[in-house]
Structure 1
């Protein structure tokens, strides 16, 4: 196998999940780790048996073809542009950027340089979500009519050791969690045409309850509760709510309503989960996942797919165009809330191709 050299910039919490999952994709060759805090890179390198480097050395390394950008959201575009200018492809943690115009600048720069941009989330490539995609495409639910998408919790200060950025510009539940939901919905239903939404900020400060800063108060600078409706190009209408202000609820993550029945889609922040279908009220039938990558945390699969796509000269699935569309949809929540009007979405990415084969060994049945 002609492996693809990967350089990682950003060695925070999420890097552990990426580096663990990357071991399962033989095409990925992690060449080095870098971080603005050299100690963070050294610690991760020691943990995974890899090499810590400076950012400059990593960008100058000719064996590195893709920069895996795991920095904080506000740095995604700046680091991505730096990597592109160094002649590297870029795969970013979500979101692509914190504002649409900057995300577009990144995608446009990549096109100018004939380089690729990819972006998380890649959970839509998980077996459960690919199974749901196949069910919808096969006509199982008939014509999609609408749906619901919910992520609601009390806030990340309960568990994150440094939750400040979730409540600063570039944070909030929409930019943090909606990428999973909107990306999966585009995978299932195609692109979004219009967004109408409202937002609120019930608390001006938050008290951290996680260690090591339990008891500290942090300011809230962004809306922490958002509710809206996505109108898809197909005509389907999906109600969506993202919140850091809800102690408990009973809504399922995603439901898709069709002319012949309803499909329960599992948590889009996971690769697997329970799928169910009902053609009549309260007559739910569990459905089996029949696609790979549903039994673990494969949070490098989008990067691996991009690496395979580079080698085989095909489009990659977790693409910059998809991530830019998702960013425009998310930004439309604030724009709609501020203006009191529905916001038309200008981007129209193609639905990513279904994942019809294993990225490791074998062809799968159609």
Structure 2
């Protein structure tokens, strides 16, 4: 059995609570240390976890009590923190995107390979029963040969609920970099890697108003496009279309639909771990719901880190995260140039997740 795997968390902001709900108290994991630029916030988090130490970021990255660094910083800090951890021969699992740009993301994987350490990256929502059950249906031939998919994410903007939304509207942010990884990761699980993209983008306004928290009413600048759409060419021949928007109010579209020669699948929101997968077969009279047949049951944020620790070949791994970032940055370049862009990376479809009950992955 051995000792629990020791995790150090860099970044104790909004998303850290979701990870701690999964990891804190898990018998296979110890939260050994936390760090944040807001030292008081880090100290408060550490006080609530037995045996946890609040450290400076550099202290945590070199601390011998830490095996893996969980990187929950803002996108601009993803690569510097990851490289610092790798420099001390620690594994890294980070929030998406892998880095703010493709060059930095490549350097993370190159340095990790040289150091012989693993890199994992969100989203891990695609390891839940929603996307995995849909993937199992595609792989079993329930829709015949896959032809196309449609993915839609529409929201009026995170400033309506997030008390500090600035980074969503700075370089490294925007709807595609923020939310696109969920949908693109799901599409790669379902249809395989992407070889080329064609994109278009727009920006509704140059300022946003914070809607909650102590800064409510404050106006912030927008430096990125806030509505991005595109066509994805998959290696197997399927075509996907994706729309991510911080400008739209609401949509009735399914988060993802996958169409094949003999059927169509409605796939639940990949921002979540579960949800109903519905199948409409050629000649049928209506949709039918498929029961969960694959994926981590009852999963939550952090399951990707647990999967990385236990599997040896992380399903939410660095190579996939690099490929997703390549697709995102290529879509943005295509939107700017008006031309199709060929991707420079590829990634294998991660191994499917067998149906895994909570008592197994929580043990």
What TM-score do you get using the length of structure 1 for normalisation? 0.94
| Contact 1:128 1:294 (8 Å CA) reproduced | no
Specify the SS of the correspondent of 1:42. Answer: helix
1:288 to 286, 291, 294: 291
Q: Unaligned regions of 5+ residues in structure 1, if any?
A: none
**Distance change (3 Å), C-alpha of 1:340 and 1:52:** same
Asked if 1:271 is matched to 2:273, the reply is yes
| Residue of structure 2 in register with 1:45 after alignment | 46
| Residue of structure 1 in register with 2:92 after alignment | 90
| Residue of structure 1 in register with 2:332 after alignment | 334
2:184 to 178, 182, 187: 182
Specify the SS of the correspondent of 1:177. Answer: helix
**Distance change (3 Å), C-alpha of 1:98 and 1:181:** same
| Residue of structure 2 in register with 1:316 after alignment | 314
How many residues get paired?
358
Q: Unaligned regions of 5+ residues in structure 2, if any?
A: none
**Partners of 2:98 and 2:21 in 1: CA distance:** 22
**Distance change (3 Å), C-alpha of 1:107 and 1:359:** farther
| Contact 2:298 2:358 (8 Å CA) reproduced | no
| Contact 2:298 2:357 (8 Å CA) reproduced | no
CA RMSD of aligned residues (A): 1.7
Using the TM superposition, give the Cα deviation of residue 61 of structure 1 relative to its aligned residue in structure 2, in angstroms: 2.1
**Partners of 2:17 and 2:261 in 1: CA distance:** 43
| Contact 1:25 1:360 (8 Å CA) reproduced | no
2:260 to 255, 258, 261: 258
| Contact 1:69 1:90 (8 Å CA) reproduced | yes
**Partners of 1:200 and 1:282 in 2: CA distance:** 40
5 Å matches for 1:53-72?
53-72=55-74
Using the TM superposition, give the Cα deviation of residue 362 of structure 1 relative to its aligned residue in structure 2, in angstroms: 4.4
1:185-205 C-alpha deviation (Å, 9 max, x unpaired)? 111111001110100011011
Larger displacement relative to structure 2 (338-347 or 286-295) = 286-295
Using the TM superposition, give the Cα deviation of residue 273 of structure 1 relative to its aligned residue in structure 2, in angstroms: 0.6
**Partners of 2:105 and 2:286 in 1: CA distance:** 44
Using the TM superposition, give the Cα deviation of residue 295 of structure 1 relative to its aligned residue in structure 2, in angstroms: 3.4
| Residue of structure 2 in register with 1:120 after alignment | 122
| Contact 1:207 1:217 (8 Å CA) reproduced | yes
**Partners of 2:144 and 2:28 in 1: CA distance:** 38
1:232-283 C-alpha deviation (Å, 9 max, x unpaired)? 0011111100000001221110000011100011000100011100024761
| Contact 2:31 2:49 (8 Å CA) reproduced | no
| Residue of structure 2 in register with 1:243 after alignment | 245
- Could you list the structure 1 runs, at least 4 aligned residues long, displaced by more than 6 angstroms after superposition: none
| Residue of structure 1 in register with 2:349 after alignment | 351
Using the TM superposition, give the Cα deviation of residue 293 of structure 1 relative to its aligned residue in structure 2, in angstroms: 3.1
